[in-house]
Amino acid sequence: MKKTLSVSTFSKESSEDKKYWSSKSPEERLDALEALRIQSGKFIYEYPARLSRVIEVIRKAPR
C-alpha cells in the first residue's frame, strides 16, 4: 500500500466537486443528499436523546 499526500486549494477542490456532482444524475444527487439528511438527523435527534436517558438513569441510581 502506497501512501500519498497532496496539497490543494479550496478553489481547486470546489471546481473538482462541481465536476464530480455534474457528472452524476439528478437521482444520484438526491440519494446522496438524502443520505446526508439521515446522518444529520441521527446526530441531532437520536444521540442527544440517548445521552439524556443515560444521564437520567445515572441520576436515579441509588448512591
- One-letter-per-residue 3-state SS of the chain: CCCCCCCCCHHHHHHHHHHHHHCCCHHHHHHHHHHHHHHHHHHHHHHHHHHHHHHHHHHHCCC
Which pTM does this prediction carry? 0.52
Domains of the chain: which residue ranges?
Answer: 25-63
The grid cell for 26 is 439528478
DSSP state of 59: H
pLDDT tens readout for residues 1-29? 788 888 889 898 999 999 999 999 999 99
pLDDT tens readout for residues 24-58? 999 999 999 888 888 877 766 665 555 666 555 55
